[in-house]
Structures are given as structure tokens and as C-alpha cells.
């Protein structure tokens, strides 16, 4: 095994950065330092912890000009989108605003001679194993509420975006965070598994594949550590006959193809009422053809390369399999570099699809979407539920009551009406089925990062 990790850029296949793996002594020191920092941090008020988080945010935002270029080199997102600045700010400020209320003690109804309450106490040392596709957003989802709740945090970032961990560590340093409370470690899979199984970690937050989630569960067995797992997805959308069609088209095109389709909650399959199907397809295809695929450092590029050639080849294989089984490709865009083995891949829209095709069943995580015609609400709901995954689902309609009723029947963690591909920090981010378990964001996100402790005090 190599002692170094290399970031191979999807832009041109060059090695953009290289870092040495942490030594065992460095990993041990980070965990020991985190544990040692906990007592002092626990005594710090939530409002004071919040001050550190806002200072961290200011420091991170100050680096954004460099960050957006680094992201383009590391994972291919076009610089025109400005990194992840806006959403990072929303989530940090959102969790800070919720912290005081979410972490306060709950007092039972008065009972003469007794004081009874439940306090929320930190779990201890939290390990965040973060992915490359939204490397800042997925990290702060746990790092910020974890620290607000009084925990110490160790970050292991994806090899493809390991510079993100360095930026986050530098921002906490500029914010003056107490020593030991945050550590960024460059670790191999083997080192990460060893740390998870060591019994020295109290909670693991993982975002990644279903296979990766199963590996986390195997590794944590017997340690009694808790886990939060956000895994695969195949998020559906349903366009009803009463939808505002231009709005649905604009937002679903963006929800399908932003970040080259490499979004946890990106739209991967769409079901459209038969009465509006033709108009929807015409508008969706026309807007998709406006994408400019190319070098993400170019301000005119609206769709960058996928993270690596093998990921793009998976999408190519799904498209080819669907076409062999009778699907029709509507875009057929020719772009420079779009060939087997290349990360550059044009967006594609498929019709004539069905649930015997991988593109409608297996996670694509790329710039392709299949669109099916449906007769009514019942058929749409049945097809939306015909998946091993359940992260988000969207309903496009003018009838809010009907959307809520249909949403109650759809097996998913989040229901949207007339929007998609978005996280609201005030709402719980969670999934069902093979999408995983656990909650981040909202007041419920703090529950996963704390332990209830009951006080039953009797006067005599």
C-alpha cells in the first residue's frame, strides 16, 4: 500500500495534489487530544460554542475564491457556481440558531418535593467520514452541530477532495477553536476501519455508498458506538397534470444535472402524467440541450466532467443497456472528450424506459435521467416506491393538500412540493430503506449527537 494519497484531477488526469497518510502515532495523538479536550469544551456554554462556529464560518468564507478553483480541480464542479459558499453559510447559521433550544434540558411537569429533568450531554469523540461530491456541505452537516453539542470531531475526508479537510482545519485554527477539538486526518480505508473498530470513537457519521455503509456497520460491531449513515439514492419526481409546467421543467432539469448529476438528492427518475407528457418532454429536452460541457475552470462551462472516467463509464453503460431494451435517447449531444474512459459526459434524457432497466432502478450518480408516462397518482406512487432507496421525492402540483396526502404514501426521508435537490437546515435530513439510518440537520440532528441523561432529585 502506498504511503501517499494522490488527487487525480478529472480536468486533465494530472495529479493535482499529494499528501502522506497519517502515521499511527498521529491518529493516536488526534484521538487522545480529542478526548482530553472534552471536559473543558463541555463547560463552555452553547452560546459561546456558537461564537466559535460563526468565526469558523467567517474564516471559511474568506477562503472561497481559492476554494472554488480547488473544487474544480479536485472534483470537476464549474467555477461559475462559486463553490458551496451559500449553502454552507445557510447550514452553519441554521444549526447555530437551533442549538440553544435543541440542547436545553427538558423539565418534567412539577411534582412537589422533586426536581426531574433530562439533560442533553455530548457523546464524546465523533468521526466524520465525508464524501467528495459536496465535500464542504456534507462535512459541516455533522461537524458544526457535533461541536455545538459539546463533542470533539475528527474528519476523514474522501481522497478525491482531501484539500477540503485542510481548509476546514485552517478555518477552525483562525477561529481560535480550543486545541484538540477538531482534527483532520488523511487515512486509508484500512486505517479508518481500524479506528472505527478500536472502541475509541463514540459516533461515526458516514456519507457514501451502500457497500461503504455496510462496512461501517461491520467495523463498529461490538464497540457500541452509534452511527449516522447516508447511503445510496434513486430520487424520483412526479409531475401531475395540474403542475406549473415551465417551473417544473426548469427546476427538474437543474435537479437532474447540476454537479453533473453527482448529487445525493439529485433527481434520477421522473414520472409525468400522460396529459402533459409530450409538452413536458419537449421543454425538458430543449432546456437540457443548452448545457455547455467542458473545462470547469471556464466561466462558460455549465456542466463539468464527472469525478472520474470509471464513474462516467457506469452511466454510459446504463444508457446503452436502456437503449438496447427499447429506450430512446433525446439529446445525443456530442462534446469534446466524451468517449469511453473519459470523465467528460454529455447530459442525456431517456424516454421509453421501464423498471426492467438499470437506469430506473440502480443509482446512476451522473448526468442521465429516465422519464416515464403514468396514468394517475396511484401508478406514480407505486413506481416511486419501487426502489431499494428512499432519500427524497418531489411532487409537482398546484394542490398542496394532495401533495401532502401523496407524500404520506411515498417511502422516503423528505417530500418536496415544487422544488427538489435542496436541504433545509430547519428540517431533518434522513432516509429510509437502503439509503441508511440516522438524522442530520434540524433540532433532531442534535439528538443523534447527544445522550439523554435523566436527573431525579428528591428533597428530604
Domain 4-231+435-458, classified CATH 3.40.605.10, yes or no? yes
Pairing relation of β-strands 436-437 and 226-230? antiparallel
Q: How many CA atoms lie within 13 A of 295 on its CB side?
A: 6
- CB–CB of 10/4 below 8 Å? no
CATH 3.40.605.10 domain span(s) along the chain: 4-231+435-458
* Residue ranges of the chain with per-residue pLDDT less than 70: 1-2
State pLDDT tens for residues 200-214. 999 999 999 999 999
Q: What is the pLDDT of residue 399?
A: 98
Q: Which residues pair with 329 in a beta bridge?
A: 350
Q: What is the pLDDT of residue 2?
A: 67
Q: Crossing angle for the helix pair 137-148 and 46-62, nearest 10 degrees?
A: 150
State pLDDT tens for residues 275-316. 999 999 999 999 999 999 999 999 999 999 999 999 999 999
Domain 235-424, classified CATH 3.40.309.10, yes or no? yes
Q: What is the pLDDT of residue 407?
A: 98
> Taking the model in full, what pTM does it have?
0.96
CATH 3.40.309.10 domain span(s) along the chain: 235-424
- CB–CB of 334/346 below 8 Å? yes
Q: What is the pLDDT of residue 336?
A: 87
Q: Which CA distances in Å does 355 have to 35, 271, 302?
A: 50, 12, 30
How far is residue 350 CA from its own chain's centroid?
26
Amino acid at each position: 500500500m502506498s504511503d501517499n494519497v494522490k488527487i487525480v484531477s478529472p480536468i486533465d488526469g494530472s495529479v493535482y495534489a499529494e499528501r502522506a497518510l497519517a502515521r499511527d502515532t498521529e491518529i493516536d495523538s488526534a484521538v487522545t487530544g480529542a478526548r482530553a479536550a472534552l471536559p473543558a469544551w463541555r463547560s463552555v456554554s452553547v452560546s459561546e460554542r456558537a461564537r466559535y462556529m460563526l468565526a469558523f464560518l467567517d474564516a471559511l468564507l474568506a477562503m472561497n475564491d481559492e476554494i472554488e478553483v480547488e473544487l474544480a480541480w479536485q472534483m470537476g464542479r464549474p467555477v461559475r457556481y462559486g463553490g458551496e459558499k451559500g449553502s454552507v453559510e445557510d447550514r452553519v447559521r441554521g444549526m447555530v440558531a437551533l442549538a440553544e433550544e435543541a440542547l436545553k434540558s427538558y423539565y418534567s411537569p412539577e411534582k412537589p418535593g422533586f426536581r426531574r429533568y433530562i439533560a442533553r450531554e455530548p457523546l464524546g469523540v465523533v468521526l466524520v467520514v465525508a464524501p467528495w461530491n459536496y465535500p464542504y456541505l456534507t462535512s459541516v452537516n455533522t461537524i458544526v452541530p457535533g461541536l455545538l453539542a459539546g463533542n470533539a470531531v475528527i474528519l476523514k475526508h474522501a481522497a478525491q477532495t482531501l484539500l477540503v479537510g485542510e481548509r476546514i482545519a485552517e478555518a477552525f485554527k483562525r477561529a481560535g477553536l480550543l486545541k484538540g477539538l477538531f482534527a483532520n486526518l488523511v487515512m486509508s480505508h484500512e486505517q479508518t476501519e481500524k479506528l472505527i473498530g478500536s472502541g475509541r470513537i463514540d459516533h461515526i457519521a458516514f456519507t457514501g455508498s451502500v457497500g461503504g455503509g455496510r462496512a461501517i456497520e461491520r467495523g463498529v460491531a461490538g464497540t457500541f458506538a452509534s452511527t449516522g449513515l447516508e447511503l445510496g439514492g434513486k430520487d424520483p419526481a412526479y409531475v401531475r397534470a395540474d403542475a406549473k409546467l415551465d417551473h417544473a421543467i426548469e427546476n427538474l432539469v437543474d435537479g437532474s444535472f447540476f454537479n453533473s448529476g453527482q448529487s445525493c438528492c439529485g433527481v434520477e427518475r421522473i414520472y409525468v402524467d400522460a396529459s402533459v407528457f409530450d409538452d413536458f418532454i419537449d421543454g425538458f429536452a430543449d432546456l437540457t440541450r443548452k448545457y455547455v460541457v467542458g473545462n470547469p475552470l471556464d466561466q462558460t462551462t455549465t456542466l463539468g466532467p464527472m469525478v472520474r472516467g470509471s464513474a462516467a463509464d457506469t452511466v454510459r453503460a446504463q444508457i446503452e443497456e436502456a437503449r438496447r431494451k427499447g429506450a430512446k435517447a433525446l439529446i445525443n449531444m456530442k462534446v469534446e472528450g466524451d468517449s469511453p474512459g473519459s470523465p467528460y459526459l454529455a447530459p442525456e434524457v431517456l424516454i421509453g424506459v421501464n423498471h426492467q432497466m438499470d437506469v430506473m432502478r440502480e443509482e446512476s450518480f451522473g448526468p442521465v435521467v429516465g422519464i416515464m408516462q403514468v396514468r394517475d397518482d396511484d401508478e406514480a406512487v407505486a413506481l416511486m416506491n419501487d426502489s431499494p432507496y428512499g432519500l427524497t421525492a418531489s411532487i409537482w402540483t398546484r394542490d398542496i393538500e394532495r401533495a401532502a396526502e401523496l407524500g404520506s404514501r411515498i417511502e422516503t426521508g423528505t417530500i418536496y412540493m415544487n422544488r427538489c435537490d435542496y436541504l433545509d437546515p430547519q428540517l431533518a435530513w434522513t432516509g429510509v430503506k437502503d439509503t441508511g439510518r440516522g438524522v442530520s440537520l434540524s433540532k433532531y440532528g442534535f439528538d443523534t449527537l447527544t445522550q439523554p441523561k435523566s436527573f431525579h432529585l428528591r428533597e428530604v
